[in-house]
Amino acid sequence: MKKQLSRLAAFALLGAAPLLSAQAVKAAPMAPRAAACPAPVPDTARCYTGEDGTGALYWIAIPGGWAKNANRVLVMHAHGGPETGPPQLARSEEDLKRWAVTVKAGYAWAGSTYRRGGYGVTMAAEDTERLRQIFVRHFGQPHRTLLHGQSYGGGVAAKAAELYAPAGDAAMPKSSYDGLLLTSGVIGGGNNNYDFRLDLRVVYQYVCRNHPRPDEPQYPLWMGLPMDSKLTRADLAARVKACTGVGLPAAQRTPEQVARLKTILSVVKIPERSLVGHLSWATWLFQDLVQKRLGGRNPFGNIGVVYQGSADDAALNAGVLRYAADPQAKGALAADSQPTGRTSLPTVGLHAMDDPTAFVELENAYRRIRDAAGTGDRLVQSFSDEHEHSYLSDSEYPALFGALLDWIDKGEKPTPEGLVQRCKALMPRYDIDGKNGCRIQPAWQAPALESRVPSRAP
């Protein structure tokens, strides 16, 4: 009982405790309303929008003839982010348009905005499940229901799989879901996922000294930004540009800017194209996570971390700001977001080897979690030589869905080699322009996360 109470207390810090969820669902959800399907969703599909009774908005798309199909499949989509503003229906619409290939492949699609902006993995998992129930209530029970988690939504879907399809729990009713697809997943848990962004803040500040500037109020960098700060994303981009030249043609950068940029990118191991994005998340997402969800307590620490890759590592390590993580905050973040690996669902993953946003090494961390939980035999991971995060090749997604369904229905466990053959066969249908195709590299495996992000003290 004590362990359960401490877990609930940890969830409460993040606004995701069961009691809070129970209060949130008292309002009756809005029945789905017919809406015009956005392009490129097929013209034959039917689309609906609504509100789930907690503040989460949603889009639903159902292919033509889906209701009469005995093998009808629903894909529940958990979106990336998290967004730090209030829920916007356009967020779910954007995901529907991006993954219109799901509907083209004959599957129904449903995606929630989540009930509020900001961090909360368990909350978002609950909202995804609530939308599934709304779908079933109004459109009937699918033959199969798949969870698709993208980016931050990968962590959400992994959490939902553990909550609603746990491994080895004979007392649980029939699982809400049949299979799990994780693409470009941020799936190491909040601590593993975001430690490197504290590294970025301290290294950037050591090099540039303009976030904050010396004449501005100083604050611990793990808090992201003071709540009363007027700094905008454009302001931050301008500061990065002034210090490193990012945003200028390479030929217009000063030697000092080139040197500063090289130090930051080499030490933190991120590409130039994602520097401003990661620094923004380490500002406004940290502000939300630490100050709104964790009561101002710090879940991130870098005591004892050894930074390498600069022209003078000794000076760097002596000069960067150091912070100790608050154990309660660290535990609360882990309770909300850290995967346990305890799910019965067959799971297929795809991650670009050169993902600039979610390190591909997180896949290695998730593999170790699943293996430790005894569910590693239910996980098949694949990797492509793509360079994107938000969306990969059109033919790869239906190949993954199809392989996952064959695993569920026929017991045919996929292999990376088999996924290659599947998506090559689907290229004439989905990759009409021939620009992307199937980019899966079946022999490749993700390195350990520690090879990219310095280890922390326990």
Given a cut of 60, whether residue 4 has pLDDT beyond it is no
Are 200 and 216 in the same domain? yes
Q: How far apart are CA 411 and CA 426, in angstroms?
A: 22
DSSP 182-241: EES---S-HHHHHHHHHHHHHHHHHHH--TT-TTS----GGG-S-TT----HHHHHHHHH
- Output phi, psi for 338, to 5 deg: -75, 120
Other C-beta atoms lying within 10 Å of the C-beta of residue 68: 7
Residue 338, Cβ neighbours under 10 Å: how many? Answer: 20
Q: Which of these ranges, 145-154, 173-182, 214-223, 250-259, has the smallest mean pLDDT? A: 173-182
Given its phi and psi angles, is residue 173 left (phi above 0), alpha (psi -120 to 50 degrees) or beta? beta
Statement to judge: residues 25 and 173 lie in one domain: yes
Closest by CA to 95, choosing from 149, 55, 53, is: 149
In one-letter notation, the amino acid at residue 206 is: Y
Last residue in a domain, options 274, 301, 334: 334
For residue 2, pLDDT over 50 is answered with no
DSSP 396-420: HHHHHHHHHHHHHHH-----HHHHH
* E strand map for 246-344: none
Is residue 457 one of the residues assigned to a domain? no
Residue 82 · residue 124 · CB < 8 Å: yes
Are 214 and 142 within one domain?
A: no
User: Of 278, 309, 334, which marks where a domain is finished?
Assistant: 334
Closest CA to 449 of 191, 243, 214: 191
- The two three-digit tokens of residue 83, written as one number: 């967004």
> What is the band of 27 on the pLDDT scale with cuts at 50, 70, 90?
confident
CATH code, domain carrying 38: 3.40.50.1820
Beta bridge partners of 74: 108, 145
Which residue in 92, 80, 160 sits closest to 355, CA to CA?
Answer: 80
Q: Which domain holds residue 269?
A: 191-334
Confidence label for 14 from pLDDT (cuts 50, 70 and 90): very low
Residue 177, pLDDT above cutoff 90? yes
127 lies in the same domain as 151: yes
Contact (CB, 8 A) for 419 and 383: no
Q: Is residue 166 part of a domain?
A: yes
> Does residue 122 fall inside a structural domain?
yes
What pLDDT is recorded for position 1?
A: 34
* Judgement on whether residues 217 and 143 belong to the same structural domain of the protein: no
Instruction: Give the pLDDT of residue 56.
Output: 96
Q: How far apart are CA 395 and CA 350, in angstroms?
A: 12
Residue that terminates a domain, selected from 334, 364, 384: 334
Which helix (H) or strand (E) segment is 117 a member of?
none
The answer on 185 and 42 residing in a single domain is: yes
Look at residue 154 and tell me if it is in a domain. yes
Are residues 394 and 312 part of one domain?
no
Is there a cis peptide before residue 166, judged by omega within 30 degrees of 0?
no
- Pick the closest to residue 290 from 429, 160, 194 (CA basis): 194
Query: What pLDDT sits at residue 407?
Result: 98
User: What does the pLDDT read at residue 444?
Assistant: 96
Q: What is the arithmetic mean of pLDDT over 198-211?
A: 98
Tally the domains of the chain.
Answer: 2
pLDDT confidence tier of residue 408, bands split at 50, 70 and 90: very high
Same domain, 26 and 133: yes
Same structural domain for residues 212 and 92?
Answer: no
| Residues 221, 291 within the same domain | yes
Asked whether residue 251 falls in the same domain as residue 351, the answer is no
- What phi and psi, each to the nearest 5 degrees, are found at residue 152? -55, -35
Tell me what the mean pLDDT of segment 96-118 comes to.
97
Confidence of residue 147 (pLDDT cuts 50, 70, 90): very high
Helix (H) or strand (E) holding 93, with range, is helix 89-98
Asked if the structure places residue 339 within a domain, the reply is no
Place of tokens 């535990």: 331
Does a structural domain hold residue 145? yes
Q: Looking at residue 29, what is its pLDDT?
A: 79
Same domain, 168 and 315: no
Answer whether residue 275 is part of any domain.
yes
DSSP annotation of 316: H
pLDDT value at position 456? 86
- Whether 351 maps to a domain, the answer reads yes
Residue with tokens 């593993």: 192
Other beta carbons within 10 angstroms of residue 174's beta carbon come to: 6
With a pLDDT cut of 90, the percent of the chain lying above it is 84
CB distance 336 to 120 below 8 Å = yes
Question: Is the separation of the CB atoms in 157 and 178 below 8 Å?
Answer: no
